[in-house]
Amino acid sequence: MDWQTFAQKALNGECLTLEEGLTVLETGNDEVLPLLHAAFIVRKHYYGKKVKLNMIINAKSGLCPEDCGYCSQSIVSTAPVKKYTLLDKDTLLAGAREAMARKAGTYCIVAAGKGPTDKELDQVVDAVREIRETMPLKICACLGILKDDQAGRLAEAGVHRYNHNLNTSKANYPSITTTHTYDQRVETVEEVKKHGMSPCSGVIIGMGETNQEIVEMAFALRELDADSIPINFLNAIPGTPLEHAGRTSSMKALKVLALFRFICPSKEIRAAGGREVNLRTLQPLSLYAVNSLFVGDYLTTAGQEISADHQMIEDLGFEIELNAL
């Protein structure tokens, strides 16, 4: 297969067809290196060899009324996770300082729940304003479904980006959660865009979706015009409904990342949650398709040592993009 024709289509602004997308996911493993080379042509065109780093703080944990099957913090999970209400301002500020120490350009404030209460929003807004005044960080918030006035307040406070993942395909959505809908997620991303915040929305691979649905997810995010696309790979946590789901093979994960680079060529594509346990020793190869990583721990699972991420980037001859959105 001449994968460079796919790269050229991406650079020309043309979208792959469904059949072409399936070809990427279903190609033999012997084709992965030439496939990644073609993806790198696109990645290098838009981002050179720079890597954006993001850091998450779990700002409110284990008290979520939603029934998302992948999440250890959901109401249906029996996983032993910490439970606490929204962190105070000093703790959120300390997290921002830690993000800077890790060379992250974007600090992600994430709170479990269907959506923020007014009191919680007040706390986040207060912290965001001080971070913006005292640190050269970009701020991403992930607080669930937003009302119009809440989105406006976050934007006014200085939140640069808002994350609300689609997570899976529209067809697969009811098998993952029943307490909110796929369309509600899309509506929140549109609300974010309306208020001038950069939209961040991604997926979780490995939740029973078909290859066709993976391609459809990429199409949906292209249509949504998400600026940042975190590609998570399910880390099946004991005590969650998806605890027995098998891991995505390392080679399949690389094919997924290449697919999203071809379909959303100019966007920030991030190897996100679960990269360590799914990509395993092939993590460095992911950077030929993606241009962004999370550094440190995730919400309730451990990430790779920060020094190992920095070393991986350096060994590849890539460069951390400081203060990058």
Q: Say what the alpha-carbon torsion angle 52, 58, 60, 65 is, to the nearest 10 degrees.
A: 90
Give the angle 35-41-47 at the CA atoms, nearest 5°: 125
71 assigned binding-site residue? yes
Token pair listed for 201: 């929305």
15 assigned binding-site residue? no
The Cα 264–Cα 151 span in angstroms is 25
CB 51 within 8 A of CB 313: yes
108 assigned binding-site residue? yes
The Cα 317–Cα 279 span in angstroms is 20
The Cα 76–Cα 161 span in angstroms is 29
The Cα 103–Cα 51 span in angstroms is 11
For the chain, count helices (H), then strands (E).
Answer: 12, 10
Say if strands 198-200 and 203-205 run parallel, antiparallel, or are unpaired. unpaired
Q: Where is the binding site, in residues?
A: 64, 68, 71, 108, 140, 200, 270
Q: Where is the binding site for [2Fe-2S] cluster, in residues?
A: 108, 140, 200, 270
Q: Where is the binding site for [4Fe-4S] cluster, in residues?
A: 64, 68, 71
